[in-house]
């Protein structure tokens, strides 16, 4: 192994570690992908995870300065095809290898910057934020999945966006309390956290269910090497969503609802059986 390959492998291991430490659901889903795809999806996850950390976690630092630096270093890494930041190095490899569009990266980073300036998201801002923070991430992954099947990318774009949208909206419901109490944010347009009620919850849930339904139509048509892994992530989030739907408003606004790891293993096993029986 030459030294450059050693560096590349080490950077890829860093992105894999980030995925495992930050998200059990996504890391288990990624492990179900064809081995050749795993490091590339880990690279995308590591990039979006660290950008999100800048705006959500580093409260004692100048977030705007850090995000601007991260943005500049991202584009420099893509242009020069190397970075001493392991996360950006693996990300630029994926961008350059799979032709991920600058527009998707711009939209994502803009949505991160929105969190520095907005605390209430009216309808136009909400849609823009959902697109940039979640839908484009699905499109980045779809570029990887459909690399050998370019015609499928356009066919599955809408479903990929719906899946990203469903995941993000479930996150908004799950994290309502922390978003409001710790960051002063309410993402759902026109919603007053202090007046959140069952009717509003049901309306939001109906919108999310529609996203899940549209997403599933695309999942069953994904290339074989990624289909099962995406389905597993879909099932994790769908089960979390159903648990939130069953929970009373008071619980949703006061605690973070989770799926225990043992339940995730059960979901994985059940999904594997369905896959072997060609039931999805």
pTM above 0.95, yes or no: no
Per-residue model confidence (pLDDT) at position 120: 75
CA-to-CA distance for 67 and 155, rounded, in angstroms?
33
- Residue 198 pLDDT greater than 70, yes or no: yes
The upper half-sphere exposure of residue 246, i.e. CA atoms within 13 Å in the direction of its Cβ, equals 8
All structural domains of the chain: 3-276 (1.10.600.10)
Element (H, E) at 30: helix 24-30
CA-to-CA distance for 230 and 258, rounded, in angstroms?
19
Instruction: List, for residues 40-86, the tens digit of each pLDDT value.
Output: 999 999 999 999 999 999 999 999 999 999 999 999 999 999 999 99
Instruction: Tell me what the pLDDT averaged over the chain comes to.
Output: 93
**Over residues 246-266, mean pLDDT:** 92
Instruction: List, for residues 212-240, the tens digit of each pLDDT value.
Output: 999 999 999 999 999 999 999 999 999 99
Per-residue model confidence (pLDDT) at position 261: 84
- Residue 276 pLDDT greater than 80, yes or no: no
CA-to-CA distance for 215 and 230, rounded, in angstroms?
10
Per-residue model confidence (pLDDT) at position 42: 97
Q: How confident is the model at residue 1 (pLDDT cuts 50, 70, 90)?
A: low
Instruction: List, for residues 82-127, the tens digit of each pLDDT value.
Output: 999 999 999 999 999 999 999 999 999 999 999 998 777 887 889 9
Instruction: List, for residues 120-149, the tens digit of each pLDDT value.
Output: 788 788 999 999 999 999 999 999 999 988
């Amino acid at each position: 192994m030459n030294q450059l390959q050693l560096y590349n492998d080490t950077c890829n291991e860093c992105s894999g570690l980030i995925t495992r430490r930050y998200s059990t659901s996504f890391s288990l889903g990624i492990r179900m992908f064809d081995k050749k795809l795993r490091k590339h999806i880990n690279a995308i996850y590591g990039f979006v995870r660290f950008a999100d950390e800048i705006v959500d976690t580093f409260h004692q630092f100048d977030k705007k300065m850090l995000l601007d630096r991260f943005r500049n270093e991202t584009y420099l890494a893509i242009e020069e095809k190397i970075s001493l930041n392991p996360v950006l190095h693996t990300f630029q490899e994926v961008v350059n290898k799979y032709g991920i569009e600058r527009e998707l990266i711009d939209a994502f980073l803009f949505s991160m910057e929105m969190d520095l300036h907005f605390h209430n998201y009216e309808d136009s801002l909400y849609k823009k934020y959902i697109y940039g923070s979640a839908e484009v991430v699905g499109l980045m992954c779809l570029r990887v999945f459909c690399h050998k099947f370019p015609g499928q990318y356009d066919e599955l774009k809408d479903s990929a966006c719906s899946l990203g949208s469903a995941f993000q909206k479930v996150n908004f419901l799950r994290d309502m309390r922390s978003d409001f109490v710790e960051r002063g944010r309410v993402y759902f347009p026109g919603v007053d956290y202090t007046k959140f009620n069952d009717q509003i919850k049901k309306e939001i849930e109906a919108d999310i269910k529609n996203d899940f339904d549209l997403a599933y139509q695309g999942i069953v048509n994904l290339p074989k090497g990624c289909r099962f892994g995406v389905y597993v992530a879909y099932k994790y989030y769908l089960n979390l969503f159903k648990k939130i739907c069953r929970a009373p408003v008071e619980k949703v606004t006061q605690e973070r609802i989770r799926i225990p790891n043992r339940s995730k293993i059960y979901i994985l096993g059940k999904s594997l059986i369905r896959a072997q029986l060609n039931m999805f």
